[in-house]
Amino acid sequence: MGRGGSRAAPAAAAPPWHVLPDEVWEHAFSFLPADSDRGAAAAACRSWLRAERRSRRRLAVANCYAASPQDAVDRFPAVRAVEVKGKPHFADFGLVPPAWGAAAAPWVAAAADGWPLVEEISFKRMVVTDDCLEMIAASFRNFQVLRLVSCEGFSTAGLAAIAAGCRNLRELDLQENEIEDCSIHWLSLFPESFTSLVTLNFSCLEGDVNITVLERLVTRCRNLKTLKLNNAIPLDKLANLLRKAPQIVELGTGRFSADYHPDLFSKLEAAFAGCKSLRRLSGAWDAVPEYLPAFYCVCEGLTSLNLSYATVRGPELIKFISRCKNLQLLWVMDLIEDHGLAVVASSCNKLQELRVFPSAPFDAAEQVSLTERGLVDVSASCPMLESVLYFCRRMTNEALITIAKNRPNFTCFRLCIIEPHTPDYTTHQPLDAGFSAIVESCKGLRRLSVSGLLTDSVFKSIGAHADRLEMLSIAFAGNSDLGLHYILSGCKSLKKLEIRDCPFGDKPLLANAAKLETMRSLWMSTCSLTLGACRQLARKMPRLSVEVMNDPRRGCPLDSLTDESPVETLYVYRTIAGPRSDTPACVQIV
């Protein structure tokens, strides 16, 4: 190294360890796995900051309003992959006014200007317009990956621009977006010379797709590993596609219903038999039990099975899943019922993630026999289970305590008891004891959703024990301000807190204002907040953006409302960008 070593001592002194060229630090930082580690390194000293930020390739902006696009571009000039998330999580359930914001356009514009070498863009819960997609297609020479999750505002015209313009596209991954169908044959716009596709996921598209064009595309993209079709692709076409892409690793089937025909069955069976690399399976809308055996040959190799759209029940379903002995991820509807989960428990011992979705979420009465038993069985027999999302209609403290004892390795535990305020159905107690057991036992818990009848005491436990908890969702729970206070004054690692319909008021919010700056965001809707408290919070904490949302039909501008006015929805997040300027009328920044 010899830098700055003019004072030669007899024993050659090495330069001080920190005096190294930036390139060395950049290389060192490239081994840091997590962005948070890189961020910590950057905070150590100015030279590390310089080295780190100039070499950062991947940037994840968890809240699009936490910083401006220009801030991001200025700070990290060499970014090649950017991910931006917009609306709060409860937007998925219709609690966020549709005109709220989260436009992707400013990010695309800033990227086009400042990051011309960008190769990957991901947007989640943002409004992406066709103009955005056209700009992406036109601005980035080496654009390779487009991932849109839960976005809206674009149509097949935008997809057409991507298909036509992105010569090096490797991944087009559209998950659960609202896509307007303009009857444009966007798939045809991939040029004949285009062969680089590795991932194609258009499962959320509602319209028809030209099957012939799709087949040609699939045939010439020899590296295609992930193909997820939409509901418009019928079963017989699936067989043809599979024959053209036997190297497929992840498959989302199209519509899986058809009248049973032995010919079609054999065709399917043969096609699947050829897919020796298939590991992940999803789709299966309207799956018909008679066709499930066509899958049998791939069951052994499957590590991931998403049947959460498959409204199939009965022995065929269970037999099918029980053959998937290597499953690590299973998403199903509650049609599997307790006895089905018992079979899963005994067959799929490598299970790591289980999600059980409600088949009739808006019905008041119980239609399927899925209770706490199913979850207890799975937790008992699957030693690697660490992530659960479970919708059911009844639960007991005893079951939760058992589950907690069985599986202290949970990192994500989300229980949704469909009817609010449901107590333990055998003892009629609140479920405080059960959830307390979960947080006390599962020391690595990062995400928790609670439900059922709960008092403040469960929040006391959560605040005290859930040291690693990063995201907490609460609905219809608690009795008083104390509940919120326990959470905000505890939960050392809390990043996101979302609350709805709980009797939490102004006091705990104001008392723990400083905590909010250590968190990414706080959502409170239909609680007991007043405008005065929100104003006070905003005054006290200038680096928080305090958004208040009320019914747009109300008419009165927020300025005219008194401090005592109730606040329907509060969304608070830390930001370095100051108040945003794109709020609709129903949202006010206090």
Partner 1 sequence: MEESSGERAPSTPQLLNLIRDEREWKVIREAEDGGGSSTTTSPDAEEDDYKLELKLGLPGAQDDERTARPGEEMEQQQEGCTALSLGSGCFPSHSKLATSTGATTTGAKRGFLATVGAKAEGCKQRQEDREECGNELLTLGGENMAGERKKGCCPPSSSHGSAAAGPVHSSSSSNPHLTRGAVLPVVGWPPVRSFRRNLTNASSFKQSPEQQNDEACDKAKQTCKRSPLIKINMDGIPIGRKINLSAYDNYQKLSSAVEDLFCGFLEAAQKDLACSGVGKQGAEEKIFSGLLDGTGEYTLICEDSEGDRTLVGDLPWNVFVSTTKRLRVTKSSELPHGLIKTVSERADN
Residues 227-286 that bind partner 1 (CB under 8 A): 257, 285-286
Shortest reach from residue 494's CB to partner 1, in Å? 8
Measured CA to CA, the distance from residue 286 to residue 266 in angstroms comes to: 19
Shortest reach from residue 515's CB to partner 1, in Å? 5
Nearer to partner 1, 326 or 479 (CB): 479
Nearer to partner 1, 97 or 374 (CB): 97
Print the binding letters for residues 150-169 with partner 1: x by CB under 8 A, - otherwise: --xxx---------------
Residues within window 510-529 making contact with partner 1, judged by CB under 8 A: 510-512, 514-515, 518, 526-528
What Å distances lie between residue 533 and 131, 322, 539, CA to CA? 40, 54, 10
* Sign of the torsion formed by the C-alpha atoms of 341, 347, 349 and 352: negative
Q: Is 467 in the site for partner 1 (CB under 8 A)?
A: no
Q: Enumerate the H helices of 8-97 as residue ranges.
A: 22-29, 35-42, 46-55, 69-75
Shortest reach from residue 205's CB to partner 1, in Å? 12
Task: Classify 293 in phi/psi space as left (phi over 0), alpha (psi -120 to 50) or beta.
Answer: alpha
Nearer to partner 1, 22 or 180 (CB): 180
**Are 93 and 69 within 8 A, CB to CB?**
no
Q: Which of 512, 506, 570 is nearest to 541 (CA)?
A: 512
Shortest reach from residue 556's CB to partner 1, in Å? 7
HSE (CB half, 13 Å, CA atoms) of 185?
Answer: 9
Print the binding letters for residues 479-498 with partner 1: x by CB under 8 A, - otherwise: xxxx--x--xxxxx------
Residues within window 529-588 making contact with partner 1, judged by CB under 8 A: 530, 550-557, 564, 566, 568, 582-586
What Rg, from alpha-carbon coordinates, does the chain have?
26
Residues within window 43-82 making contact with partner 1, judged by CB under 8 A: none
Q: Is 295 in the site for partner 1 (CB under 8 A)?
A: no
Burial class (CB in 10 A: 0-12, 13-18, 19+), 80: middle
Nearer to partner 1, 106 or 505 (CB): 505
Shortest reach from residue 426's CB to partner 1, in Å? 9
Among 383, 425, 440, 535, binds partner 1 (CB under 8 A): 425
Give the amino acid at 429. Answer: Q
User: What backbone torsions phi and psi does residue 208 show, to the nearest 5 degrees?
Assistant: -80, 160
Nearer to partner 1, 179 or 327 (CB): 179
Among 22, 180, 398, 440, binds partner 1 (CB under 8 A): 180
Which two tokens mark 101?
């914001």
Q: Tally Cβ neighbours within 10 Å of residue 245.
A: 22
What Å distances lie between residue 176 and 7, 90, 195, 390, 574, CA to CA? 65, 15, 25, 20, 28
Shortest reach from residue 154's CB to partner 1, in Å? 7
Q: Is 289 in the site for partner 1 (CB under 8 A)?
A: yes
Which two tokens mark 224?
């295609």
* Strand, helix or coil for residue 305: strand
Q: Is 422 in the site for partner 1 (CB under 8 A)?
A: yes
* 220, 226, 230, 233 alpha-carbon torsion, rounded to 10°: 50
Residues within window 376-395 making contact with partner 1, judged by CB under 8 A: 391, 394
Shortest reach from residue 552's CB to partner 1, in Å? 4
With CB under 8 A as the contact rule, which of the stretches 72-80, 111-119, 264-272, 413-421 interacts with partner 1? 413-421
Shortest reach from residue 232's CB to partner 1, in Å? 13
Nearer to partner 1, 121 or 248 (CB): 121
Among 134, 171, 334, 456, binds partner 1 (CB under 8 A): 456
Among 168, 223, 277, 367, binds partner 1 (CB under 8 A): 367
